[in-house]
Structure 1
Amino acid sequence: MASPGHSDLGEVAPEIKASERRTAVAIADLEWREMEGDDCEFHYGDGTNEAQDGDFPTAERSRLQEMLSLLGLEIYQAQKLSLQDALQISNDSMKNWAPQVPKDLPWNFLRKLQALSAEARNTTMVLDAPPDARPTEKENQMEEEIIYWDTADDISADIYSFSELPTPDTPVNPLDLLCALLLSCDSFLQQEIVQKMALCQFALPLVLPDSENHYHTFLLWALRGIVRTWWVQSPRGLGNLREDSMVLPRAPTFAFVRMEVSSNSKSQLLNALLSPPHRQRDCFWHRDLNLGTNPREIADGLVELSWFLPSGREDQDIFLEPVAFLNLRGDIGSHWLQFKLLTEISSAVFILTDNISKKEYKLLYSMKGSATKYYFILSPYRGKRNANLRFLNRLIPVLKMDHSHVLVKVSSTDNASFVRRVRAILAHVARSPCRRVSVEDMAHSARKLGLKVDEDCEECQRAKERMERIARKIRDAEAYRRDELRLQGEPWRKAAQVEKELCQLQWAGDPPEKYRTELRHRLLELRTQQHGQDPAWGVQEFVRGLSSPSLSERQYFLRWMEWGLARVAQPRPRQPPETFLSLRPKHGGSGGAGDLSEPLWPEGLGVEHFLREMGQFYEAEACLVEAGRLAAGQRRFAHFPGLALELLLKGLPLELVDGGTLSTPLRWVTGLLKELHTRLERRARLVVLSALGVPGTGKSTLLNTMFGLRFPTGGRGCSPRGAFMQLITVAEGFSQDLGCDHILVIDSGGLVRGTLPTAGGPFELEASLATLIMALSNVTVVSLADTRDIPPAILHAFLRLEKTGHLPNCQFVYQNLHDTSALGLKPRERRQLPEPASEASRTEAQTEKQGGGLRTLADLAFCNPEKQHVWHIPGLWHGVPPMAAVSLGYSEAIFELKRCLLENIRNGLSNQNKNIQQLIELVRRL
């Protein structure tokens, strides 16, 4: 690690273009000579300095390799760590374990981050040595020497004497751990890590340093998946919510950097600027946090990014519009390329320093002509006050500053007053005409400076181009579905209804054969009409994207399609979306029925619609083959399930129940499962875990947090319906103990509560969905808003399945996500069973004609409070969104629920595990 005391400009700024830096420094040298005389001994760019520059990367190279080796990550430099590797279920998934050796640190960090735990950055080891035996004295001494080392006194000092690589009993700086992990991950795991960090309100990596190859990476792709919601105040005084990918909006951007030594902490200042009154946020890691004093070994040169997003609440909104903050780790002289980038993308740059000497003057003089506003935050170095003032006076006209751009903060300065003053400057700059950039704009500047942009790889760009070709054809989502996705909508709804009737006749005691024949004939007519269509151009292009020989390109293509469709096919003006209201319980007994009176199409347009169209082509073709209307050798779409399976194996949710009709495309689903059986071969033992619940109770977020999944959660103004499935792999070393090789997780669309049970109609659809999902499951999580109102469709499913003797192991989860009254309670301290059912539930129980009168969930045999089937989960957010982080109580409760679910599976409390062939047969029967 380069010391802040390194003094030769030729060494601390090796990344400046040769012609640019020679010109700039020559001008500065000339001015310096005029000021100080010609006896100045400082020279730039001689052969000696260049030789020293060549020696520096060698030391850095060894540091990176040593760090990767210490953390056990060197094996992932050729074959990168994937998202599937990180999400495997292992024995550690059931333990709240602490790392014992450095190689445990990356995995512990990933597991905590997956659980959205604010403790992820506190990852440290359990050491055998007593605390007083740990090498803290040397670290503290090092920190003091760095802060007070006068570089003018000893230029030839050995800069490496102040830092040593961590030994196994020395904790690793969290920023080193993050950089090492990101350098070892593929693009998709990087994206997942950054998204989870955003939910935890951690500062995000923007420029990832790679001291091994001197090829720093701008992380545009990793940041692209972050979607946030904020309040937009209109000029007329009315406001509304905006939801968008955070790489797209242009906003004022403020960079904070350190020049040489600063007694003031940039990160602490940034945290104070981002924090509302009476609540300290630690978005940026700083020296006063746990492990914060540990020296950084490979993270210097890291640029971090965080945003402030307004919520519409005056008591919380520090700024009235989105504002971006950038933080460069390390000295600007040692990381000139990153500093140059910050000066080209920022509305203003704040430079923290204790000392402005000849070297610093020359360094900043090279920025002459820059359009960026510069501010200094000084803590005057001992005995350097006059020198600082002299150089500042010469820099003011060069950087187009005035004396209001120089702030002094010493130990006696009131922190709160100082923060208010800096905020006032930020607000003034943001209100005035200033540079506003998006993260995409920043990436353009990074490319010009020669930084690598992660999104520029060929596979990613080919996938993006294909997505754009499809998206350009979409002007109106509803019209596109009607005109291009022709096998869905009414044709599929009619076919699904006929198949349901045929299924009901199959179970009838004495079915009329004539009517059965008539239904079969009608179904074949409908399927023939579907088969007579050719896939639209957009569907064909979509299939070509899924058929790419490159697995990475297929993954890139699916992600691009998700984002592209979300932007070009947005639904009606957005409802208050996920960050604010998607997890809020929806109250009112009669509102649910009205929701289902609308067409059952999900709002908007997504990847699932294209996959649904593929499924319908497969269904129609398979139906005709079964009926002998089409020869097996004439099939064109038999390979479609194999294409879709690749997505399931790579973590994309696939539809099990069509969200448009709430029907199961039987042949398509069984085709997928057959392909899965073939692919998994000997590791085909399955446990099915499902979630049912009331809309807005956070069941999808719960599953995503427990297992790192990607179920849709109601953002973009859409409320997901139907049922999706994802596959989780159990590590081979743990599968024998757990009793299964994979866990198939099924997430259902919200069951609309308050819908009274009637024959047919919305209730029948919802009840059928609940029955199907529970019947397939070994374990079911039922997510509810309160203990009084059990949706009739869920009760209907319980009562029907109780007759058959098949009931999954059930866990009831109550998530009063906007109620802070339960925050102090542990998840299992309140175990009361559901209270007496609502009127709708009473009516449902009576329609089932159960003997003994009224039935509620508390009457069912499996609801035993001693077996702790009832969970109370604290609120999701700690604070007010969009600046709120996930609460520690929520992540801890979710981990405890996950541990309990896996324990139940291991102990056989769920029904007997299924293999895929049994699951296929069960789907057919249901």
Structure 2
Amino acid sequence: MDFHLHLAVIRVEVELLVKGRSELGEVAPEIKASERRTAVAIADLEWRDMDPDDYGTNEAQDSDFPAVERSRLQEMLSLLGLETYQAQKLSLQDSLQISSDSMRNWAPQAPKDLPWNFLRKLQALNAEARNTTMVLDAPPDARPAEKESQMEEEIIYWDAADDISADIYSFSELPTPDTPVNPLDLLCALLLSSDSFLQQEIVQKMSLCQFALPLVLPDSENHHHTFLLWALRGVMRTWWAQPPRGVGSLREDSAVLSRAPAFAFVRMEVSSNSKSQLLNAVLSPGHRPRDCFWHRDLNVGTNPREIADGLVEASWFLPSGREDLDIFPEPVAFLNLRGDIGSHWLQFKLLTEVSSAVFILTDNISKKEYKLLYSMKGSATRYYFILSPYRGKRNTNLRFLNRLIPVLKMDHSHVLVKVSSTDSAGFVRRVRSIVAHVARSPCRRLSLEEMAHAARKLGLRVDEDCEECQQAKDRMERITRKIKDLDAYRRDELRLQGDPWRKVAQVEKELCQAQWAGDPLDKGRAELRHRLLELRAQQNGHEPAGGVQEFITGISGPSLGEKQYFLRWMEWGLARVAQPRPRQPPETTLTLRPKHCGVVDFSELLRPEPLGVEHFLREMGQFYEAESCLVEAGKLPAGQRRFAHFPGLALELLLKGLPLELIDGSTLSTPLRWVTGLLKELHVRLERRSRLVVLSALGVPGTGKSTLLNTMFGLRFATGRGCGPRGAFMQLVTVAESFSQDLGCDHILVIDSGGLIGGALASAGERFELEASLATLLMGLSNVTVVSLAETRDIPPAILHAFLRLEKTGHMPNYQFVYQNVHDACAPGPRPRERRLLLDPPGDVSRAVAQMEKQGGGIRTLADLAFCDPEKQHVWHIPGLWHGVPPMAAVSLGYSEAIFELKRCLLENIRNGLSNQNKNIQQLIELVRRL
């Protein structure tokens, strides 16, 4: 018998004795919180009272078991090189640094490579992350024989008379550098070594790869298990909701907030059937199961678990609106407990309280297992048994099953038998039919937030309950509870935006044009300056509204952790109060079809933006701009400044990974003083490490450039057509000091132009001129520019204008053209046809732009204008993002690999000096002013 199970049985026996019940009598269904003890405390108590002859040894001390558990975790952390991250946790910024490893597709050579290899692959949304995180194979004779025989569920068979001695000697050896590491151990060790924000990033990336997500994280060192509510809060779920009557609609909600029936799969003692393989088959509509849950038949499936037992994982089935793919008509959650229930009774008790039904896989039901399950008498959960009598004892199983049926309110239809001769497909259909039947009937439907309440009552820790997180949540709620009407809130709270900011932007544009065209004493310029000062004085006459002041307080707190928590809470809180976005049929929304250059709907680009964190920062920027303008004009003494510290506050957010606005998407203008103030603060903060490379991405909305940047560098630019803010946003990527000399820079400033560039000359006029100017600005600032194209040879006209204008200046950044053919997920690499398109004669749009720019000397190809040689990998074909049909599709391996190759090429070009000369921040400030 498993050692943990032995302790759990002792606990049940002690409870029986305390309550004076007979051996097969009733067991209290729940232990009071005041009487609840950890497994270690119970073990300590009962090791003292045991008769040594009953268990084959009298040498064990009451501290032996905790010592073994501690050594296992510490040995694992030491093996993986993570022991240094126990006090100071690994941060998201640590994991995203660019190093020499970022430029090569390397295989881990030692156990200490495994966490970093896993994080790199996960950042790139590579679905091979779990399968490839292993050490080089050791010689077969170097592995202990017992490890080779242990499968995913650690199946070890023994006779009842020898169960204790077998249990003692079944402990696997602690891992060594010569033995592979189980991927679940690696995941648990990495999560235990990461801060809350890196945990959240890991879980979000796992979700996109369609991996099962960690829900309860075991900690065998401290015997404190953690319910990962915060880590899962950023996971969004999209599905097709089909009501009984009426038209279906696409729904989107947080995985933490949406309710769904949950079905738990657990193992009792030993089972010849694999839970994880069964779950994968149930979740998969086709013949080839998805590997959502890691299982024994994957590459490193036979490696024993050392610290991951007690882990609870979660996965969801989400309908897509296609009858041939929708196994269930509504979202359904599946929960999987690693290890047996006797060893992890607390986790099992949680699953029984949050699930609609529990499936118990086992080969044997003996007296001790009967006692464990008898303690669940009165539970409202439905129980199903999946038996394999191959190794079990048939008559004993039947005897105890007959006793359990009335106790757990079952009937014989709740007992399923699966042996080697059972038709696997038919068995999976039967399990699905049970799940569908329970889901259709009145049953328990809980969100993860509600599950966390049950976890707290049982004594599990919830990661979201830390003081910093709760204080940040309270502050967010003080802001969002006042938002009843978005338009009214913008008008009353964000007073410096809207019309006041548009008027200022228009005057500044006219003043800039007059400076280029007129003489210094021009009367018109003086009037414009006077008008500008009037508008700025009006802005400066306001005080930040209550919500803005609360926001400023939230990002000014002394605790960096609380600031980060506050920003994440604000993002989610504002998303919840925002007006619902229009929903479209799944075949248009879920496949992420690109918009071609000639058919962009500009009414969509001009619609009101959803309220976001960037609007509060924009308001701060306008207060800073107004005050700075008056100080420069001598209208306000410098000593009376109130907002001079605002750029420093915003910079803290940039350094922690928040995208900051460079160009305002509502007015298509740049707050110059605010941006230069940010860059000056950045120069002071970075000190000697201020060498920059600027990389920008431009393209028509819907071509996937934001997702491309996020996948390439692990960034947080808003994605999804119609849901993100418009404008240009910048994020900072740090280069590791050990690699900065080789790469030639200390940081990469990445700029994403979300929703700025239209695709048709029909918009020629003021907006088109603004688009062309902004494209010129972004490309002029850049060392490297990625141009994201749809499946057409015509480049967006605003970008083509920028090419022609920059060509006159001699500025030649390194250009990379990216075709993202979202329907073709299996394409192996760049296609010659797409590469040759840029060499073909230009289309109507290109000819029209050349005429507008008065380009003589005949019509040239785009390749000529961009100094681009398609034969030298300046043109890339990126396969489709999804492998399969969303929302159950994972990111395709072809997409991940193509993005990695593009990243490698970009970094190689930077290292080889093929881009423009790298800038320091002071040079960048001057360039912003000039452009």
Shift in CA distance, 274/740, structure 1 to aligned 2, threshold 3 Å: same
Deviation at 1:595, TM superposition (A): 3.8
Task: Report SS of the residue matched to 1:328.
Answer: strand
Pick one of 687, 710, 718 that aligns with 1:712. 718
What is the identity, as a one-letter code, of the residue corresponding to 2:689? Answer: R
**1:784-812 residue CA offsets vs partner (Å, 9 max, x unmatched):** 11232311001000000000001210000
What is the identity, as a one-letter code, of the residue corresponding to 1:492? Answer: W
**1:100-130 residue CA offsets vs partner (Å, 9 max, x unmatched):** 1100000000000000001100234453755
Judge conservation of contact 1:505–1:511 (CA < 8 Å) in 2: no
**1:599-645 residue CA offsets vs partner (Å, 9 max, x unmatched):** 5x42x100000000000000000000011110001011100000000
Report whether the alignment pairs 1:48 with 2:43: no
Whole-angstrom distance in 1 between the partners of 2:314 and 2:832? 38
Judge conservation of contact 2:26–2:374 (CA < 8 Å) in 1: no
Deviation at 1:837, TM superposition (A): 3.5
Pick one of 172, 177, 201 that aligns with 1:168. 177
Shift in CA distance, 409/201, structure 1 to aligned 2, threshold 3 Å: same
Pick one of 857, 862, 865 that aligns with 1:857. 862
Report whether the alignment pairs 1:886 with 2:891: yes
Gaps of 5+ in 2: 28-44, 52-59
Whole-angstrom distance in 2 between the partners of 1:694 and 1:31? 68
Deviation at 1:154, TM superposition (A): 3.1
Whole-angstrom distance in 1 between the partners of 2:20 and 2:775? 73
Report whether the alignment pairs 1:282 with 2:286: no
Pick one of 822, 828, 837 that aligns with 1:824. 828
Whole-angstrom distance in 1 between the partners of 2:800 and 2:491? 36
What does residue 247 of structure 1 align with? 256
Return 695-704 or 853-862, whichever deviates more: 853-862
What does residue 329 of structure 2 align with? 320
Deviation at 1:840, TM superposition (A): 2.7
Shift in CA distance, 579/511, structure 1 to aligned 2, threshold 3 Å: farther
Deviation at 1:377, TM superposition (A): 0.2
**1:161-205 residue CA offsets vs partner (Å, 9 max, x unmatched):** 441112111110000000000000000000000000000000000
Judge conservation of contact 1:798–1:807 (CA < 8 Å) in 2: no
Judge conservation of contact 2:5–2:341 (CA < 8 Å) in 1: no
**1:633-685 residue CA offsets vs partner (Å, 9 max, x unmatched):** 10111000000000000000000001111110000000000000000000000
Task: Report SS of the residue matched to 2:404.
Answer: helix
Identity %: 81
Report whether the alignment pairs 1:815 with 2:815: no
What does residue 542 of structure 1 align with? 551
What does residue 135 of structure 1 align with? 143
Return 216-225 or 56-65, whichever deviates more: 56-65
What is the identity, as a one-letter code, of the residue corresponding to 1:410? Answer: V
What is the identity, as a one-letter code, of the residue corresponding to 2:632? Answer: E
Shift in CA distance, 121/758, structure 1 to aligned 2, threshold 3 Å: closer
Pick one of 352, 361, 374 that aligns with 2:370. 361
Deviation at 1:28, TM superposition (A): 4.6
Report whether the alignment pairs 1:459 with 2:445: no
Whole-angstrom distance in 2 between the partners of 1:806 and 1:282? 49
* 1:402-417 equivalent positions in 2, closer than 5 A: 402-417=411-426
Shift in CA distance, 31/561, structure 1 to aligned 2, threshold 3 Å: closer
* 1:485-500 equivalent positions in 2, closer than 5 A: 485-500=494-509
**1:196-235 residue CA offsets vs partner (Å, 9 max, x unmatched):** 0000000000000000000100000000000121111122
What does residue 678 of structure 1 align with? 684
Return 316-325 or 783-792, whichever deviates more: 783-792
What does residue 666 of structure 1 align with? 672
Report whether the alignment pairs 1:657 with 2:663: yes
Shift in CA distance, 583/263, structure 1 to aligned 2, threshold 3 Å: same
**1:317-367 residue CA offsets vs partner (Å, 9 max, x unmatched):** 111111000000001000000000000000000000000000000110011
Judge conservation of contact 1:593–1:754 (CA < 8 Å) in 2: no
Whole-angstrom distance in 2 between the partners of 1:444 and 1:22? 31
Deviation at 1:731, TM superposition (A): 0.4
What is the identity, as a one-letter code, of the residue corresponding to 2:512? Answer: C
Whole-angstrom distance in 1 between the partners of 2:831 and 2:455? 47
**1:224-255 residue CA offsets vs partner (Å, 9 max, x unmatched):** 00012111112223100111111001100000
Report whether the alignment pairs 1:202 with 2:211: yes
Judge conservation of contact 1:686–1:916 (CA < 8 Å) in 2: yes
Deviation at 1:133, TM superposition (A): 4.5
Report whether the alignment pairs 1:744 with 2:742: no
Whole-angstrom distance in 2 between the partners of 1:829 and 1:267? 44
Return 829-838 or 236-245, whichever deviates more: 829-838
Judge conservation of contact 2:654–2:732 (CA < 8 Å) in 1: yes
Judge conservation of contact 1:7–1:359 (CA < 8 Å) in 2: no
Judge conservation of contact 1:252–1:430 (CA < 8 Å) in 2: yes
What does residue 32 of structure 2 align with? none
What is the identity, as a one-letter code, of the residue corresponding to 1:616? Answer: Q
Shift in CA distance, 620/916, structure 1 to aligned 2, threshold 3 Å: same
* 1:769-788 equivalent positions in 2, closer than 5 A: 769-788=774-793
What does residue 119 of structure 2 align with? 110
What does residue 694 of structure 2 align with? 688
Return 832-841 or 311-320, whichever deviates more: 832-841
Pick one of 607, 626, 648 that aligns with 1:642. 648
What does residue 4 of structure 1 align with? 2
Judge conservation of contact 1:24–1:366 (CA < 8 Å) in 2: no
* 1:481-880 equivalent positions in 2, closer than 5 A: 481-508=490-517, 510=519, 513-574=522-583, 580-581=589-590, 583-587=592-596, 589-596=598-605, 598=606, 601-602=608-609, 604-714=610-720, 717-756=722-761, 760-820=765-825, 823-826=827-830, 831-834=835-838, 835-860=840-865, 862-880=867-885
What is the identity, as a one-letter code, of the residue corresponding to 1:831? Answer: R
Whole-angstrom distance in 2 between the partners of 1:510 and 1:111? 56
Pick one of 334, 357, 360 that aligns with 1:348. 357
* 1:30-69 equivalent positions in 2, closer than 5 A: 30=25, 47-49=48-50, 54-69=63-78
Whole-angstrom distance in 2 between the partners of 1:577 and 1:544? 41
Deviation at 1:571, TM superposition (A): 4.4
TM-score, normalising length from structure 1? 0.94
Whole-angstrom distance in 2 between the partners of 1:11 and 1:777? 63
**1:381-423 residue CA offsets vs partner (Å, 9 max, x unmatched):** 5461011000000000000101000000001001000000000
What is the identity, as a one-letter code, of the residue corresponding to 2:475? Answer: R
What does residue 431 of structure 1 align with? 440
* 1:468-487 equivalent positions in 2, closer than 5 A: 468-487=477-496
Shift in CA distance, 832/137, structure 1 to aligned 2, threshold 3 Å: farther
Judge conservation of contact 1:753–1:790 (CA < 8 Å) in 2: no
Task: Report SS of the residue matched to 1:148.
Answer: coil
Shift in CA distance, 574/79, structure 1 to aligned 2, threshold 3 Å: same
What is the identity, as a one-letter code, of the residue corresponding to 2:147? Answer: E
Pick one of 213, 218, 233 that aligns with 2:227. 218
Whole-angstrom distance in 2 between the partners of 1:183 and 1:24? 38
Deviation at 1:818, TM superposition (A): 2.1
Task: Report SS of the residue matched to 1:616.
Answer: helix
Judge conservation of contact 2:8–2:345 (CA < 8 Å) in 1: no
**1:416-449 residue CA offsets vs partner (Å, 9 max, x unmatched):** 0000000000000000000010000110000000
**1:240-278 residue CA offsets vs partner (Å, 9 max, x unmatched):** 011111100110000000000000000000000000123
Pick one of 224, 228, 231 that aligns with 2:240. 231
Whole-angstrom distance in 1 between the partners of 2:129 and 2:163? 40
Judge conservation of contact 1:379–1:410 (CA < 8 Å) in 2: yes
